[in-house]
Amino acid sequence: MGTEKTRPESTVLSDRQKHRVTEQLRHEQTTCAGCGSGDFTVGQALYVGFLFLDEENGNYMVALTCNNPECPAPRTGITLHESAFLDVG
């Protein structure tokens, strides 16, 4: 699939950044809307703060893939501010 390519608006996350996202998911007890699972693989982060009117500056849509093989809608995402998972400053 085309998911291997990086979109111009996307950032590839390091393992440390992915780990911070996972911690956030755990902290917020995020579950998959498709199957209720809480086990995700963290993908790329799409910067949405600039492109989308409803988003605050610094917001990203982080791609999440539900690890439940039975999940009917495994591709989901979470909006996070850069301060929550990117190493800034």
Partner 1 sequence: MYELDFPVWIRITHWVNLLFITLLIRSGVEILGTHPKLYWRNDSKPGTEWARFTRKTMPTDKLYDTLDEEESYSSLVSMPGHKQLGLGRHWHFFSVIGWILTGLTYVILLLATGQWHRYWPYSWSIFPTAWHDLLTYLSFNLPPLLPGQPYDALQKLTYAFVVFVLAPFQILTGAAQSPAIEARFPRYVRLWGGRQAARSLHFFGLILFVLFIVVHVTLIAVWGWGMLTSLMIFGDVESRQWAIVLSLVIIAAVVAVHWAATKYTLRYPRRTQRALGAVVMGVRKWSLKPLVSKQNYSAAELSPEHRVNGKPPISDDYKIMAAHNFADWRLEVAGLVENPMTFTLQELQELSGTQTQRVLHNCVQGWSSIGEWSGVPLRTIVELVGPLPEARFLCVLSMQDSGRDEPSAPGQGQFYEIIDLSLARHPDALLAYEMNGGLLPIEHGAPLRLRLENQVGFKMAKWIDRIEFVSDYSGIGEGMGGWREDNVFYDKNVEI
Contact set with partner 1 (CB under 8 A): 1-3, 5-10, 43-46, 48-55, 57, 61-63, 65, 75-77, 79
Q: Which is nearer to partner 1, 62 or 86 (CB)?
A: 62
Q: Which is nearer to partner 1, 18 or 77 (CB)?
A: 77
Q: What are phi and psi of 20, to 5 degrees?
A: -65, -35
Minimum CB separation of residue 17 from partner 1 in Å reads 14
Q: Which is nearer to partner 1, 34 or 39 (CB)?
A: 34
Q: Do 49 and 60 form a contact (C-beta atoms < 8 A)?
A: yes
Instruction: Using alpha carbons only, give the angle 85, 41, 24 rounded to the nearest 5 degrees.
Output: 35
Helix or strand holding residue 21 (H, E): helix 15-27
Q: Do 70 and 36 form a contact (C-beta atoms < 8 A)?
A: no
Minimum CB separation of residue 48 from partner 1 in Å reads 6
